[in-house]
Amino acid sequence: MKLSKKQIQEKQYKSFLRSKETFNSIHSIYVLYCPIKKQIVYVGMTSLPLTQRLKMHLWEANSNSYFNKREKEWLKELQDLGLSPLIRRVAIANNRDIAKKKELKVIVSIMAKRELLNFQSHMIRAGKWKHEDTLNKYIQKHY
């Protein structure tokens, strides 16, 4: 069975995310800023240049493989209005492990003020991360 161009791109993207080079490279922790709400709505991390990561968010929003439904809907809404989120680096880490921890700290600090589109924010709001110890255990187990 021959793969479509879209399926090939998705396969290459997933392979890139699992690669050792990605794991051990410098990572940026970034925020996506909504030009309509005038606030941060998403926190992420990447080893890619930020402009490329933003393009990937926009491409992913139009693909079938995007798992964050709320983020996908928000990106599509912006695209329908001819708008795009703004992306800004807020921290840097030497590898993926450190980056995931920093990303989660940024998520938690912003969530003290407002809801985010990150799936982690749903877990925090649902009460899975009621205490710092629970959050630290989750980080150690999954990152």
Q: 74-99: per-residue pLDDT in tens?
A: 999 999 999 999 999 999 999 988 99
50, 107 Cβ separation under 8 angstroms: no
CA distance 104 to 90: 12
Between 16 and 49, where is the model more confident?
Answer: 49
What's the predicted TM-score (pTM) here? 0.72
By mean pLDDT, which of 26-30, 31-35, 79-83, 113-117 is the weakest? 113-117
